[in-house]
């Protein structure tokens, strides 16, 4: 379900605050002067092409990488300060590639991470049930499928009722039913006030499930806002498809196009056997709809498709190269995040 925009927190309610964050690797600038606030109870998407800097920014938010300059605070505390370990206990983290110990079973794995976070291990069995792994708690992790490992990693991230949840490509390896369950669980957590930050290459998944999105390009913050705000920023045309009466489709198409008033006559369009699809600038949306709806004998239906998150992502992206980060999602780094 799309987020309820009326319940979005005020701008002052920032759980995560990044100010002028820059990260350089020798001469390469991976993240360049990024500033943003992420609010309490918000589902926030971080997207960008490979090499855009999103993974580096993600790791700096987790405290796994130190910024070259700038600062990141979570709940008012610097992620790399003296209280960094205490800050991390408020964080749940699911890496893209879940690194687990094959010789432990699912329940032992959760108990291990619970002890790292100094959390009561008695909650682990219920947490396994919550992610649909109650039946496999005593099964060695080496026998888990990729999707089961991802669920176990998700359970690890939820240990201790974190204030902030970081999810890196969270639906990797999940089947459609598990993906549906995952997003339903995130919606429940959001309602409870949890702040969720996630990355995903599956932009269609994010589109109706995030409150706001940050788009990174070559280490810079290219765009930031809700989906309607991004549509206004990118100002991409919308697709308006007019379904024509089948008996006289060809004649109707000719007549419709011939009678288009200016400036509608200049709109790009594609004519099919029984329909016309217009690529309409946003400013022409209402005049075009009004014109089409005045043709009841010729136009049977009108469908409007707004630019998708994917459309906006590809509208202004250029390839870039980012060197491998010195921090990888290994057993050690995952344990450190815990």
pLDDT tens track, the chain, 338 positions: 444 444 444 445 789 999 999 999 999 999 999 999 999 999 999 988 888 888 899 999 998 899 999 999 998 889 887 777 888 888 999 988 888 999 999 999 999 999 988 889 999 999 999 999 999 999 999 999 888 998 999 999 999 889 999 998 888 778 888 888 889 989 999 998 999 999 887 888 888 889 999 999 899 998 899 988 988 888 889 999 999 888 666 777 787 888 888 889 889 888 888 899 999 999 999 999 999 988 878 888 999 999 988 888 877 654 333 433 333 333 334 444 44
What confidence score (pLDDT) does residue 200 get?
A: 83
pLDDT tens by residue, 147-199? 899 899 999 999 988 999 999 888 877 888 888 888 998 999 999 899 999 98
What confidence score (pLDDT) does residue 84 get?
A: 78
126 vs 132, 233, 241, 292, 337, CA distance in Å?
10, 45, 50, 56, 22
Would you state the structure tokens that stand for residue 86, as one six-digit string? 């205490």
* SS3 sequence of the chain: CCCCHHHCCCCCCEEEEEEEEEEEECCEEEEEEEEEEEECCCEEEEEECCCCCHHHHHHHHHCCCCCCEEEEEECCEECCCCCHHHHHCCEEEECCCCCCCCCCEHHHHHHHHHHHCCCCHHHHHHHHHHCCCHHHCCCEHHHCCHHHHHHHHHHHHCCCCCCEEEEECCCCCCCHHHHHHHHHHHHHHHHCCCEEEEECCCHHHHHCCCCEEEEEECCEEEEEECHHHHHHHHCCCEEEEEEECHHHHHHHHHHHHHCCCCCHHHCEEEECCCEEEEEECHHHHHHHHHHHHCCCCCEEEEEEECCCHHHHHHHCCCCCCCCCCCCCCCHHHHHHHC
What confidence score (pLDDT) does residue 118 get?
A: 87
Would you state the structure tokens that stand for residue 241, as one six-digit string? 């498809």
State the Cα–Cα distance between residues 145 and 248, nearest whole angstrom: 56
322 vs 61, 89, 219, CA distance in Å?
18, 30, 9
Sign, CA dihedral 43-45-46-50, equals positive
What confidence score (pLDDT) does residue 297 get?
A: 80
The dihedrals phi and psi of 258, each to the nearest 5 degrees, come to -70, -30
CB 62 within 8 A of CB 91: yes
Would you state the structure tokens that stand for residue 41, as one six-digit string? 């109870």
CA angle at 279 for the pair 277 and 281, rounded to the nearest 5°: 145
Sign, CA dihedral 65-71-77-80, equals positive
Instruction: Give residue 142's Cα distance to chain centre.
Output: 30
Would you state the structure tokens that stand for residue 106, as one six-digit string? 């699912």
State the Cα–Cα distance between residues 247 and 229, nearest whole angstrom: 41
Q: Of 83, 93, 64, 87, whose CA–CA distance to 74 is shortest?
A: 87
Q: What are the residues whose beta carbons fall under 8 Å from the beta carbon of 246, sequence distance 6 or more?
A: 274
């Amino acid at each position: 379900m799309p987020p309820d925009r009326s319940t979005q927190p005020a701008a002052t309610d920032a759980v995560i605050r990044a100010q002028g964050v820059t990260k350089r690797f020798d001469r390469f600038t991976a993240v360049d002067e990024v500033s943003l606030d992420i609010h309490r109870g918000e589902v926030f998407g971080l997207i960008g092409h490979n090499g855009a800097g999103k993974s580096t920014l993600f790791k700096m938010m987790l405290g796994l990488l130190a910024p070259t300059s700038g600062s990141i605070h979570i709940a008012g505390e610097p992620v790399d300060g003296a209280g960094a370990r205490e800050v991390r206990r408020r964080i749940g983290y699911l890496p893209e590639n879940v690194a687990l110990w094959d010789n432990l079973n699912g329940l032992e794995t959760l108990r291990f991470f619970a002890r790292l976070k100094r959390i009561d291990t008695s909650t682990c069995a219920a947490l396994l049930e919550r992610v649909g792994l109650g039946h496999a708690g005593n099964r060695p992790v080496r026998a888990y499928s990729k999707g089961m490992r991802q669920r176990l990693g998700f359970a690890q991230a939820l240990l201790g009722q974190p204030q902030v949840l970081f999810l890196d490509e969270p639906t990797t390896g999940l089947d459609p039913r598990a993906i549906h369950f995952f997003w339903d669980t995130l919606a429940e957590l959001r309602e409870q006030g949890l702040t969720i930050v996630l990355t995903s290459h599956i932009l269609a998944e994010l589109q109706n499930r995030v409150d706001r999105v940050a788009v990174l390009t070559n280490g810079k913050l290219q765009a930031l806002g809700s989906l309607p705000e991004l549509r206004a920023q990118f100002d991409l045309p919308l697709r308006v498809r007019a379904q024509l009466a089948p008996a006289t489709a060809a004649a109707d198409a000719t007549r419709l196009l011939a009678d288009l008033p200016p400036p509608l006559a200049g709109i790009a369009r594609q004519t099919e056997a029984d329909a016309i699809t217009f690529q309409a600038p946003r400013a022409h949306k209402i005049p075009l709809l009004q014109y089409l709806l005045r043709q009841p004998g010729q136009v049977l239906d009108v469908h409007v498709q707004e630019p998708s998150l994917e459309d906006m992502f590809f509208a202004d992206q250029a390839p870039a190269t980012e060197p491998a980060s010195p921090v990888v999602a290994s057993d050690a780094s995952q344990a450190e995040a815990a």
